[in-house]
Structure formats: C-alpha cells, structure tokens
Structure 1
Amino acid sequence: MLLSPNKLRSLLGSTNRVVLLDATWFMPNSPRLARAEFQGKRLPNAQFLDLDQVASSHPLGLKHMMPNGETFARACEKFGIGPSTHVVIYDAHGVFSSPRALFMFQSFGHRNSAILDGGLPRWEAEGLPLETGEFHESEVQETKYPIPSLDADVIKSYEQMVSNSTLVPLQTPGAELVLDARSRGRYLGMDPEPRPGLSSGHIPNSFSLPFNLFLQNTTAANGVTYTTMLPKEQIRAAVIEAVGIERANSVFAAQMPVIASCGSGMTAAVLWLGLQLLEVKRTSIYDESWTGYSMRPSSKIAKAE
C-alpha cells in the first residue's frame, strides 16, 4: 500500500498498467486550490481525483462521503481504470488526503492500489520528472468497470457510533476502540473547530491519536517540507502511547475492532493506513466523523480525558 518514488518509477517502467491519481484536498479554510495546483504541476500522465465529487450525497451536506458502487465504477471508467489496473495515488502534502482515496479503492475491493509515500513534493525533491500545463481529460481512454460492492464493515454510521459510545473498551463485551485523529486541543474541547459553529470535544469513550503521530516531516534541499508514514515500529509505539498497552495488544491481536474518526473522515484514513501497515485488518472509519456527530443536537460531547 506504500510506494517510494523509486519504486513507483520502476513500476511505471514495467509492462504493468498503471494509473496515477492526484487526490490532493485542502481544508475548507485554506487559500490553496487543489485542482488549480494540479493544472500547474503533477506527475506525468496523472489525473485529478476530486474526493468531494466522487462521493455520495449526505442529508447534512457533508463532503467526500464514501460513494456508492455505481459512482465509484463510473469514476474509474472515466480515469481509464479497469478492475486489474494498478492505481497509485498521491497528494501535494506528502501524506494527507491520499490515504482517504486509497481507503475508498480498498473498500471496494480494488486491492491493486497504493499511495506514493511523500507524494508530489518528495517526487519533485528526488529530481523525478514532472508535467506542467493544462490537462485535457479527452486524452484519457475510458474503460469498463463492473459496479463493485462496498465492504459493509468499513464504514460506521452515526447510530453505530452513539451505541458504541456507551461501551468502555476492554471492560464491555462488543466495544470497539474509537481513535480520534484530530489535534489533542480539539479533542479536549480547548481549541476551536476549523468549521464555524461546531463545538469541539470528543465522542465519549474515544481516544485521542492525532494523525500526525503516524507521520514524519522531511525538509528537502529545495526547502520544501513533506510528510511520509513513520516506520511500523514507531506507528505501533504511537498506538500504545495513545490507548495503553492492554488495549493496544487487544487491537494488534485482532480481538478488538478499531474505528477511526477525525474532522470530516479525511485524516482518519491516515490512522487506517497505519493500522493496515501493522496488519490490523479490523479497522473502519466513521465517515461523518466529528462534523456529522457534533452537528446533531442530541449528540453527547465529552471535553475531558
């Protein structure tokens, strides 16, 4: 699921059918525009995957929710992706939104998919070729993609989260461990949410594990900073630090399932990816995440450990 630039370059030089997707996404309050940056600079022959567009509608108006099988299939066809195509996803941060796109592909059974560790900035920092100028979608040859079924266990609903929030992990049979990928200040209710009007705090009986604890920052010779996934042993240590050795061991032994949550279902996928690297397969995402949870007046919000 994780490729270095050199591994990707070798893959592109092979006879395998590879499609590159730029899944860059920025927070709503960011001045940067993902599609505009893609038009300015991208990996050769890459296409832009708009995660807000390849998504399902939501009654609360939430963005980038998991698409249904038909929407996913139609997007793959537009990109020239078939069921056996090797899909490699990257973003302009390094590792930020690309894991969410990978989660989508993996959840629909497209196992031949991975992300570029370090993304566009690492690729550029290592002196590998780039493509600039306007991208023309008409250059892509569409293909057929059968409508797949979504793995029903990978997405959690609001009702499931409310029910689970009354259970204490390890102390209550059937409890699932909820990991919150937002910053600790937002989890504790000390810092404001970036989306106006939302209360900070956390779901009762959840645990704080900011997604950046799975990442390391690198500053290249050109001054550009990017993120990559930490080595597995450090990811494992971050989980233990966040939830304690007993809960962590239950997770690693596949005895207790994990639900990852964040602000809007985006960076929760960084936690999901880290746990996949540790071979923790019983991991799902609360798709609405904190935005959907806190928008509902009936939701119980905790603001302390």
Structure 2
Amino acid sequence: MKFTHPIISIDELQSILQDPHLILLDCSINKVNQKLDENNIQLIPNSYFLDIEHRFSDQKSELPHTLIDEIKFTKEAQFLGINTDSIIICYDRWGIYSSPRAWWMFKAMGHPNVYVLNGGLVAWKNAKLPTTKTYLPIENIGDFQAKLDEQWLANVNDVLDAIDQSSIKIIDARSTKRFNAEVDEPRPGLRKGHIKNAANLPFEMVLNDTSFKSEQELTELFKEFHTKKELIFSCGSGITASILALANHQINPKQTIKVYDGSWAEWGKDEELPIE
C-alpha cells in the first residue's frame, strides 16, 4: 500500500490498520513553554514511540534536534521494528507539531514510504476512535538501512550559497515578531533577526489549529515560491521548518525541498553569518 500524498486522513489510516507492514509512530515532543501531559497519556492503539528529543537527535551536538548519522539512525529505526518495506505513519499528540520532523528524517534517510496523519491524535479522538495508554512492545528488530539522501538536507554552507541565488528561496517558519527582530529569541545567546534574503511564513499559517489546511489553501500560501527550483526551510531548531516542508511537498511534490537542520539555533549564534 502506498498513498498518493504524504499527508493522510483518518480514513486512509484505518484502511491499512491490519496491514502487517504498518509501523505507527507517536512522534510527540514538548513545545516551547508547553508540555505534554505524561500522567494522562493517550495514544492511538499499536503505536511505538519515536523519541525525537533523545534517541533521534545527536546528543553530542551543541545544537538542538540535530539529525543523527546513518549508523545510529539505522540502529534506532531497527530497534523500533522498522523494515525496508515498512509503511510508516507518523503522528503526534498535539495534532500537527513534531510528526512532520519525523517524516522529514525518514525521507532524508532514504525511506520513501512514510506519511503523516493529518490532525494526529486530536483527529483520531474527534472521530470517536479508541485510545490506549501504553505503547506496543518491541518484539522484532527491523532490517531498515539508513542511507542519507542529501537532497532533503541543508547545512550552513548550503544556506550561504543559496542567499543570493534567484532560483532558491529560504523560508523561515518562525513567528513574524521573531523574524523581524521585534522580540528576543527563546534560546539565550542568539541574535535577533533572520537570514539575509529569507522570506517569512510562520508555520501556524499552514494549519487550521491542529490539522493542515486544504490543498487549495496551501497552494495559495506557497504560490509565490512555486517557480523556484529549490526551497530551504528554516526555523528555530528544525522542528517547525519540517511542517512547512511537508505542507509544500503535499501540493508540489516535484519541487526540491530541504530543511536547514541547524536553523536559527546555528545561524543566530554565529556573528559572521549575514542577517537582516
């Protein structure tokens, strides 16, 4: 089973719940200044937990949420029982927040059959479907082998090269006030402002509260960028940039999209990098 778009509905998920290749991943992380209620956890049944904050982020990096290398990614994915032929459905308990980051990570590591549940647990509960309080125990080690596909990933040098290229656009998912240097950054030690020549599209703009907006609405939001050869998405630490990357890929799958993994946590710290 392969879905035609990366964002899938509750009905589409229900259509494959009995598929032995299905891997359902809760990819939830805490938001800035807002934490999940771990004492009253609710999950879609038969979920595994993909730990973005710890197991799937480089703990040796000075930057938050840095993508781990191929060897460690292979090990962690296999530990979740993920195989080369797995159908991976990512969701989070907020609705849409960190699940697109997991989608992007698997894309970047060469797994094509990965999707995000639109609305996540919120949509599941709104459909009056059953929940559970426990994750599925790991029974088998998978055979997935990560292979980095660099067309999904941008580093600081890629962004520097892109600044003055008319065929590439850098899009910042942070709030307009952060983009325009009107407020301090939530992480200490970072400059205010944005990457030179970047555009601003706050990630909330592609959402209707806890779900993605319609494809027609997304097309309108991204229309000024559709002629670009490549889009590079940035944010604070690579989480909400992935929301924009997924939204754009839903409506324009042939356009090259990259997530700047270091994002403002890296750019805002280096005094030599150009900002506005």
Q: Fold match, TM over 0.5? A: yes
**CA spacing shift, 1:70–1:168, aligned 2, 3 Å:** closer
The 5 Å alignment of 1:271-290 reads: 271-278=244-251, 279-290=253-264
Structure 2 equivalent of residue 215 of structure 1: 207
**Mapped partners of 1:168, 1:144: distance in 2:** 42
2:199, 2:217 → 1: CA distance?
18
Alignment match, 1:10: 15
Deviation for aligned residue 1:179: 0.4
What secondary structure does 1:11 align onto? coil
* Structure 1 spans left out of the alignment, 5+ residues: 170-174, 218-226
1:194 aligns with 2:186: yes
Partner in structure 1 of residue 104 of structure 2? 103
Gap change, CA 1:62 and 1:191, over 3 Å in 2? same
TM-score if structure 1 supplies the norm length?
A: 0.82
State the distance in 2 between where 1:50 and 1:146 align: 17
TM-score (norm: length of structure 2) = 0.90
Indicate yes or no: 2:69 matched with 1:68: yes
- Superposed displacement of residue 57, structure 1: 4.4
RMSD: 1.9
The answer to whether the 8 Å contact 1:74/1:145 transfers is: no
The within-5 A match list for 1:49-128 is 49-53=50-54, 54-57=56-59, 59=61, 61-128=62-129
Distance 1:204 1:76 in 2: 36
Query: Separation in 2 of the partners of 1:29 and 1:282?
Result: 33
Deviation by residue 1:198-218 (Cα, 9 ceiling, x = unmatched) = 22210001101111111112x
Q: C-alpha separation between the residues in 2 aligned to 1:228 and 1:2?
A: 10
* Deviations 1:200-249 (CA, angstroms, capped at 9, x unpaired): 210001101111111112xxxxxxxxx11112221111123xxx4xxx34
Flag structure 2 segments of 5+ consecutive residues without an equivalent.
Answer: 1-5
Q: Which residue of 2 aligns with 1:223?
A: none
Aligned equivalents of 2:101, 2:23: Cα separation in 1: 17
TM superposition shift of 1:146? 4.4
Matched, 1:179 2:171: yes
Identity percentage of aligned residues: 28
Higher radius of gyration, 1 or 2: 1
- 1:180 Cα deviation after fit: 0.5
Please state how far the C-alpha of 1:144 moved relative to its aligned partner. 3.3
SS of equivalent residue, structure 2 residue 187? coil
Are 1:235 and 2:235 an aligned pair? Answer: no
The 8 Å contact of residues 58 and 65 in structure 1, kept in 2 or not, is answered as: no
